Amino acid sequence: MVTMEAFTQFVFLISAAAFVGFACITFVFIWVFNFKEGLAWDGGLAEFNWHPVLIVIGLIFLQGIAIIVYRLPWTWKYSKLVMKFTHAGLHSLAFILTVVALVAVFDFHNAAKIPNMYSLHSWVGLAAVILYSLQLVLGIGIYLIPITPVALRATFMPLHIYSGLFIFASVLATALMGITEKLIFGLKDVPYKNSPPEATFVNILGILILVFGALVLWIATRASWKRPSDQKILDSLHANGGGEANTKVGPALSEDAELVDPETCGEVRRRSNKSDDFDQDK
Amino acid sequence: MVTMEAFTQFVFLISAAAFVGFACITFVFIWVFNFKEGLAWDGGLAEFNWHPVLIVIGLIFLQGIAIIVYRLPWTWKYSKLVMKFTHAGLHSLAFILTVVALVAVFDFHNAAKIPNMYSLHSWVGLAAVILYSLQLVLGIGIYLIPITPVALRATFMPLHIYSGLFIFASVLATALMGITEKLIFGLKDVPYKNSPPEATFVNILGILILVFGALVLWIATRASWKRPSDQKILDSLHANGGGEANTKVGPALSEDAELVDPETCGEVRRRSNKSDDFDQDK
């Protein structure tokens, strides 16, 4: 059965993403506690270490989960509004952790008299965080404030989706630059180029971050794994006597995608000249 | 008029991509000739410099253009086969330049007794190049060899598109890591953290590379800018008396996207359970 096949494939990929995501978090903790100075808030290297830890947990893992949270078939029994709050809430949490992560690194730099904002890592990273905050404010303003016109929501959706994915990808690139910097500056006894165990270990963390990103981006860009519109779910529940069992596989994994919810942009197919820029699937 | 609006928007973005792409190439040449040792094939730093130059020209600029070449409305008067050869040809050229770029850096490392393949930059970079070669071989095998079944072409298309975009994004991330490494190792008199002019200049190159990538990925993921199927173009030419003027705006920018060419996957909309994994837009 196609439906079950699609569902099995989805479960496999989401499990892989969760597994690799948790592996990233585990690796960054092992890096900090086993190879580095641990965690503290003392203006020293142990304070700096909050930077990679909070970025991996917040801006990488939580942001990744926030991006694909609508796709989880188990959540389709909840209303769209509940899921929007979940989506915005996860992104907000990621943003808060990121702010603390930035404070940690500025604090450390200032105490150690290292200049701030000189590296490409810092330029791209700060740009990504500024764009992330803008995305958050615009996202809440457009999709959570009830008075925003539906037409604006629909028009802005392709940009919202694209910016979200591009910011996420930029964060991954920034993390890889950060790892590169830290391994060059941080390895004193045996330098990076002589591949001490820490270098190999943290290179693997970099690869895991990239694999996590690849899985999130794949899941986020499969049109057939989209959350169906609320009406569609309601109809489906009715047809099945209102049971919850049906939502476990869920309609969007298998059924006709001709939906009309402007916020699941891409499911509305272009039929005429009128909606020219509106059928963007991610 | 929506059609002209969409076309104007496309022309603006493609011009921006071309402009930023050429700026990247200009910047890398200025870096190498104005700040560095120029270009030579002598096992020294001037040989290393071929590495960033050829990567920016080949793996970044040419790969980016190859990705969006089907989207250029000016090319829609040519057959799909001609465009496939153009797409594959540009990618092949990018790949050849990349191989030379890799030889340059291995040569330099060996002459200077610097270990190879120790950095995250080298790990991600080599992985991306291996995946790129695989993508090239599979792409030619599946889409240019006439005997490959249509069903296979269609099934493989979402993966071909996703891999292409993901490899491109990974290349951009690798370039940013490479810039980071080179600015840390290469700036001797005034170190990176004290922001000498070269550091600022090359940071800007990094930002330009990212902007070029953002434009290419935006253009590549707009469903409404897809090349229409050959049949569609033919019909359109007939309806317009076969003139070429029509192809300047082109049908896919404005008209009904219900097409049947399996290789423009994503334009075939899912109607039933049968083609579950087949309606992926990039």
Q: Which residue has the higher pLDDT, A15 or A279?
A: A15
Mapped onto helix, strand or coil, the DSSP state of residue A58 is: helix
Residue B128 makes CB contacts below 8 A (sequence gap 6+) with B167, B170, B171, B174
Angle between helices A197-220 and A2-30 (to 10 degrees): 150
Q: How far apart are CA B13 and CA B214, in angstroms?
A: 11
The encoded tokens of residue B182 equal: 């080179």
pLDDT band at A54 (very low <50, low <70, confident <90, very high): very high
Mapped onto helix, strand or coil, the DSSP state of residue B187 is: coil
Contact B192 A274 (CB under 8 A): no
pLDDT at residue number B202: 98
Q: Which residue of B has its CA nearest to A185?
A: B184
- With beta carbons under 8 A apart, name residues in chain A contacting B113: none
Interface test with B, best of A270, A278, A282 (most B CBs within 10 A): A270
Mapped onto helix, strand or coil, the DSSP state of residue B77 is: coil
The encoded tokens of residue B175 equal: 């370039």
pLDDT at residue number B214: 98
B186-195: long-range contacts, CB 8 A cutoff, minimum separation 24 = B186/B36, B192/A118, B192/A119, B193/A114, B193/A115, B193/A118, B193/A119, B194/A115, B194/A118, B195/A115, B195/A118
pLDDT at residue number B3: 77
pLDDT at residue number B28: 98
The half-sphere exposure of A55 on its side-chain side, counting CA atoms within 13 A, is 29
Q: How far apart are CA B141 and CA B77, in angstroms?
A: 25
| A20-42 pLDDT tens trace | 999 999 999 999 999 999 999 99
Contact B276 A2 (CB under 8 A): yes
Q: How far apart are CA A76 and CA B177, in angstroms?
A: 40
Interface test with B, best of A13, A27, A120 (most B CBs within 10 A): A120
Contact B280 A221 (CB under 8 A): yes
Positions of chain B with pLDDT under 70:
1-2, 230-282
- With beta carbons under 8 A apart, name residues in chain A contacting B281: 221, 223, 266, 280-282
Q: What is the DSSP letter of A272?
A: S
Q: Are A265 and B249 in contact (CB under 8 A)?
A: no
pLDDT band at A257 (very low <50, low <70, confident <90, very high): very low
- Nearest Cα neighbor of A14 from A98, A70, A59, A53 is A70
Contact B120 A180 (CB under 8 A): yes
| A67-111 pLDDT tens trace | 999 999 999 999 999 999 999 999 999 999 999 999 999 999 999
Task: Report all structural domains of chain B as residue ranges with CATH numbers, in order of start.
Answer: 4-228 (1.20.120.1770)
DSSP per-residue string spanning B133-157: HHHHHHHHHHHTSTTS-HHHHHHHH
Q: How far apart are CA A72 and CA A69, in angstroms?
A: 6
Q: Which residue of B has its CA nearest to A254?
A: B273
Q: How far apart are CA B257 and CA B265, in angstroms?
A: 11
Q: How far apart are CA B171 and CA B54, in angstroms?
A: 13
Q: How far apart are CA A117 and CA A147, in angstroms?
A: 40
Facing residue for A195 by CB, picked from B118, B207, B266: B118
| A158-199 pLDDT tens trace | 999 999 999 999 999 999 999 999 999 999 999 999 999 999
Q: Are B49 and B39 in contact (CB under 8 A)?
A: yes
Residue that is written with structure tokens 């105490």 in the block: A111
Task: Tally the residues of chain B.
Answer: 282
Burial class (CB in 10 A: 0-12, 13-18, 19+), A127: middle
Contact A119 B194 (CB under 8 A): no
Contact B274 A192 (CB under 8 A): no
pLDDT band at A235 (very low <50, low <70, confident <90, very high): low
Q: What is the DSSP letter of A43?
A: S
**Mean pLDDT for all residues in chain A:** 86
Q: Are A120 and B180 in contact (CB under 8 A)?
A: yes
Nearest-CA distance from A12 to chain B in Å?
A: 15
Contact A270 B184 (CB under 8 A): no
Nearest-CA distance from A161 to chain B in Å?
A: 11
| A135-144 pLDDT tens trace | 999 999 999 9
The encoded tokens of residue B90 equal: 């540009």
ipTM of predicted assembly, 2 dp: 0.87
State the first-to-last Cα distance of chain B, in angstroms, to the nearest integer.
Answer: 26
Q: Are B96 and B58 in contact (CB under 8 A)?
A: yes
pLDDT at residue number A134: 98
Facing residue for B180 by CB, picked from A120, A255, A258: A120
Contact A273 B253 (CB under 8 A): no
